[in-house]
Chain A
């Protein structure tokens, strides 16, 4: 017999290699220092702005490599880090506070590669430097707030239904409300009333003590937790976007954790200020009677303050605050009956009655939502960290159409995007549950660089050692195994670059090194098997054929179990360990492929088509 390659094997191997090589290529290009400019408050940057900025750059003698507008953001690449810094200062003075600038390193992937979606591997924080935070959301606080709110609702409901009760107590320790009554009939009436309202409550009655116990149902508690987590993620994402960090990660982890990664950030104090900065919201009436021009000129009426809206309009608002943001339970974007974007706001019961009272005499007046945030400013405190500056902004003003209650809409918004943004800001005004930093890792830029260098060096020397060993031991077949090992590296790097969630970490690099050592295993199994078959007296071609076939069963069995371990590692591990698990799993799959399909192709091409007495093995 002769060993010949079926056509599919050529096609498969060359297609795989070509594809992964293409996707591995971007890793060879260096990164450009770049400046990223985005507009605050979620709006997009216009083309005019971009051209204006480009002209200004030229004016200042800063020749950018390229200035692009993508996703409403300007990305300007420069030849040196110096130019990048100068350009940032220029952009800051030119564009003002409505824009945020971020320094970043943008991969210099050529256009034809980016066009097919090829990007370099994402580097983990341990390789590029930056801050990693793990935040825990205080879920008990969210439940407590809900319970307190429920208590005041229950009180007002009972009063309205004219059911007399002795007291409504909140028992925060077991997430329950304790209602006490004087008479059994009153207790039953209350139980009926509360059951009818379907607030997802679990009601238990104690007939002897005349007590009703109200507990939030499991389902409701889960909803509260989910909401608190989602709300925190939204707020943190907003803040992180505003401070200008390139490629930040804000991600949920498990039931009550949030991972925040800020690449390139070294000043952890500032980052922490931002994460823990408090935002509040106030509703005030707009003063349309006083002279706004006079106010802008400095002559303020006694009962009003001057504010600015997001688009820069001056507004006079009543000093009296109608309602503060902590009464907001929920704010969601939607559409009104005319298909216009709107934001629906739900208040707690106390907020509802405040709003009802206040808006009763204010129908036809305009209601402004003022967003107040404490952000790190440009001034530095004595310890060198930026001082927090109070920033107030009218994010929306709308005419009150009728008396408002616990639930009302803000309409007249220009786009669904604006509605979503407003809703998230309104929610941010009333943080349900505070967060706490439970893990923090800061990697300095020099250590990151060093780690990359060490990792690359280890990969190179590991590779050299294994390549040498294989050639010495298996001669010509060793060369084949080495070609397979090279292909294996290309496949691994290609796949790691393709998978969107994969990041390369230091343990991940160790995983690559380890894979280099273990990847030859499949080839060793095959070659040893062929030797055995030859020793048992089979012809050369038969030995190759049977060797590959029999070794395959072993390779499959042994690697499936290893893959199983890698998957478990991926499922349980976090951060760097996950990175390690990914490289390990990919390495196993690619090494099977290169050994079983790849080397067979070569072996068949070189030795499979001839009648031979012996193999150079």
Chain B
């Protein structure tokens, strides 16, 4: 069985301009959303206290809200987490109370006021400085990763391809951030990890295409640049699609079965893998072509490959 079996290479580059324009539009849209609505940063980044409690029966959120307001936490945000028996309570940072003690105080208030005692599932407190640092460290990690890739690809391949790879990676990251901004999904530490993993996944895809591109440039001596790129993308298309499929399969499992804590992670990667697959086909190669890649650029003499014959 084989998904695609083409006699002729597909003409991907025919649509390179529409694709690039679409990507540019999406990137701009993401930026607009990120700067206008912002990102819904999770506890890890904002600081504050999150308390997850379990109840034996379904939770009465309004009752709990009143209890907490009476106990001095009118700004507590309550929501069901996963099931109707689990409640997530968020309490933002405040200057006037001893932050590290909020978790116990809230549990105590709930247990003394409610008819039915709650069980502590988790309490997380993050101080204001920690979250700020995490944003910086996370941003730094992404930049270092992109720079490292820029350098490696430039050394192993060619600078135009290297720029193409990094542009397509930045494209993936920005669009994923854009999605989290537009839908106002919570951006926590696991989502940061997912985006970094996405960089890893997407570069993998891109390099496979580039690798074939280099080979095609050397093999197809009379073909135009467009044709060569089309040839490279077409011959790796099966692999691109199958690997994306298996990855999406496991991500779907994580999305539906991984539990609430891993939801953001799965969402970011599901979206990212789809975008990453598209961008390694279109954005990376098209950018390199627009930058003017040609056959000569790919010919720096490698040691002549010995043909293997029996």
Interface check A472, CB cutoff 8 A? yes
Q: With A514-B247, A554-B211, A568-B148 in contact, is A576–B190 under 8 Å at CB?
A: yes
- Tell me which residues from 96 to 140 in chain B have a Cβ below 8 Å from any Cβ of chain A: 100, 103-104, 108, 119-127, 129-130, 137-138, 140
- A444 and B51 alpha carbons, distance in the complex (Å): 11
A sample of 12 cross-chain residue pairs with beta-carbon separation below 8 angstroms, ordered by A number, consists of: A134-B130, A513-B253, A521-B204, A524-B246, A528-B239, A562-B201, A562-B204, A565-B145, A565-B149, A565-B196, A565-B199, A573-B141
Asked if A269 and B104 make an inter-chain contact with CB atoms under 8 angstroms apart, the answer reads: yes
Asked if A444 and B122 make an inter-chain contact with CB atoms under 8 angstroms apart, the answer reads: yes
Chain B residues contacting A268 (CB-CB under 8 Å) are: 103-104, 123
Interface check A450, CB cutoff 8 A? yes
Interface check A458, CB cutoff 8 A? yes
- In whole Å, how far is A386's beta carbon from the nearest beta carbon of chain B? 14
Interface check A577, CB cutoff 8 A? yes
Chain B residues contacting A113 (CB-CB under 8 Å) are: none
- In whole Å, how far is A434's beta carbon from the nearest beta carbon of chain B? 14
Q: With A462-B249, A518-B247, A576-B189 in contact, is A442–B123 under 8 Å at CB?
A: yes
* Interface membership of chain B positions 168-212, coded 1 if the CB is closer than 8 angstroms to chain A and 0 otherwise: 000000000000000000000110110011011101110110011
- In whole Å, how far is B50's beta carbon from the nearest beta carbon of chain A? 9
Closest to B248 in A: A517
Asked if A542 and B308 make an inter-chain contact with CB atoms under 8 angstroms apart, the answer reads: yes
Interface core residue of B156, B212, B245, B258 (most chain A CB under 10 Å): B258
Q: A525-B239, A566-B200, A568-B144 are in contact. List 8 more A-B contacts (CB 8 A).
A: A268-B103, A442-B123, A454-B259, A465-B253, A521-B246, A539-B310, A565-B149, A565-B196
- A2 and B310 alpha carbons, distance in the complex (Å): 8
* Interface membership of chain B positions 245-274, coded 1 if the CB is closer than 8 angstroms to chain A and 0 otherwise: 111111111100111011001100100000
- A516 and B309 alpha carbons, distance in the complex (Å): 35
The one of B52, B190, B201 in contact with A518, judged by C-beta atoms closer than 8 angstroms, is B201
- In whole Å, how far is B283's beta carbon from the nearest beta carbon of chain A? 16
* Interface membership of chain A positions 558-590, coded 1 if the CB is closer than 8 angstroms to chain B and 0 otherwise: 111110111011011100110011001000000
Asked if A564 and B100 make an inter-chain contact with CB atoms under 8 angstroms apart, the answer reads: no
Interface check A461, CB cutoff 8 A? yes
Chain B residues contacting A44 (CB-CB under 8 Å) are: none
- A447 and B309 alpha carbons, distance in the complex (Å): 60
Interface secondary structure of B, over-half rule: helix
Interface check A553, CB cutoff 8 A? yes
- A545 and B306 alpha carbons, distance in the complex (Å): 13
Closest to B122 in A: A443
Interface secondary structure of A, over-half rule: helix
Closest to B269 in A: A514
Interface check A300, CB cutoff 8 A? no
The one of B196, B252, B254 in contact with A569, judged by C-beta atoms closer than 8 angstroms, is B196
Asked if A565 and B193 make an inter-chain contact with CB atoms under 8 angstroms apart, the answer reads: no
Chain B residues contacting A524 (CB-CB under 8 Å) are: 239, 242-243, 246
- In whole Å, how far is A175's beta carbon from the nearest beta carbon of chain B? 21
- A437 and B44 alpha carbons, distance in the complex (Å): 15
Interface core residue of B1, B103, B122 (most chain A CB under 10 Å): B122
Asked if B201 and A454 make an inter-chain contact with CB atoms under 8 angstroms apart, the answer reads: no
- In whole Å, how far is B200's beta carbon from the nearest beta carbon of chain A? 4
* Interface membership of chain A positions 531-567, coded 1 if the CB is closer than 8 angstroms to chain B and 0 otherwise: 1100000010110011001100110011111101110
- Tell me which residues from 431 to 450 in chain A have a Cβ below 8 Å from any Cβ of chain B: 437-444, 446-447, 450
* Interface membership of chain A positions 362-406, coded 1 if the CB is closer than 8 angstroms to chain B and 0 otherwise: 000000000000000000000100000000000000000000000
- A439 and B45 alpha carbons, distance in the complex (Å): 12
Chain B residues contacting A474 (CB-CB under 8 Å) are: 1
Chain A residues contacting B138 (CB-CB under 8 Å) are: 572
Interface contacts (Cβ under 8 Å), in number, total 221
Closest to B1 in A: A473
Asked if B52 and A572 make an inter-chain contact with CB atoms under 8 angstroms apart, the answer reads: no
State the B residues within 8 Å of A (CB).
Answer: 1-2, 52, 54, 100, 103-104, 108, 119-127, 129-130, 137-138, 140-141, 144-145, 148-149, 152-153, 156, 189-190, 192-193, 196-197, 199-201, 203-205, 207-208, 211-212, 215, 235-236, 238-239, 242-243, 245-254, 257-259, 261-262, 265-266, 269, 308-310
Asked if B211 and A553 make an inter-chain contact with CB atoms under 8 angstroms apart, the answer reads: yes
Chain A residues contacting B212 (CB-CB under 8 Å) are: 554
Asked if A564 and B148 make an inter-chain contact with CB atoms under 8 angstroms apart, the answer reads: yes
The one of A1, A444, A450, A466 in contact with B246, judged by C-beta atoms closer than 8 angstroms, is A466
Asked if B127 and A525 make an inter-chain contact with CB atoms under 8 angstroms apart, the answer reads: no
Interface check A238, CB cutoff 8 A? no
The one of B119, B193, B207, B248 in contact with A573, judged by C-beta atoms closer than 8 angstroms, is B193
Chain B residues contacting A559 (CB-CB under 8 Å) are: 204
The one of A1, A472, A528 in contact with B238, judged by C-beta atoms closer than 8 angstroms, is A528
- A470 and B247 alpha carbons, distance in the complex (Å): 12
Chain B residues contacting A517 (CB-CB under 8 Å) are: 246-251
Asked if A507 and B190 make an inter-chain contact with CB atoms under 8 angstroms apart, the answer reads: yes
Asked if A457 and B145 make an inter-chain contact with CB atoms under 8 angstroms apart, the answer reads: no
Asked if A458 and B254 make an inter-chain contact with CB atoms under 8 angstroms apart, the answer reads: yes
Q: With A450-B259, A521-B204, A564-B148 in contact, is A466–B249 under 8 Å at CB?
A: yes
Asked if A442 and B124 make an inter-chain contact with CB atoms under 8 angstroms apart, the answer reads: yes
Asked if B204 and A441 make an inter-chain contact with CB atoms under 8 angstroms apart, the answer reads: no
- In whole Å, how far is B71's beta carbon from the nearest beta carbon of chain A? 14
- A136 and B211 alpha carbons, distance in the complex (Å): 48
- A182 and B246 alpha carbons, distance in the complex (Å): 83
- In whole Å, how far is B182's beta carbon from the nearest beta carbon of chain A? 24
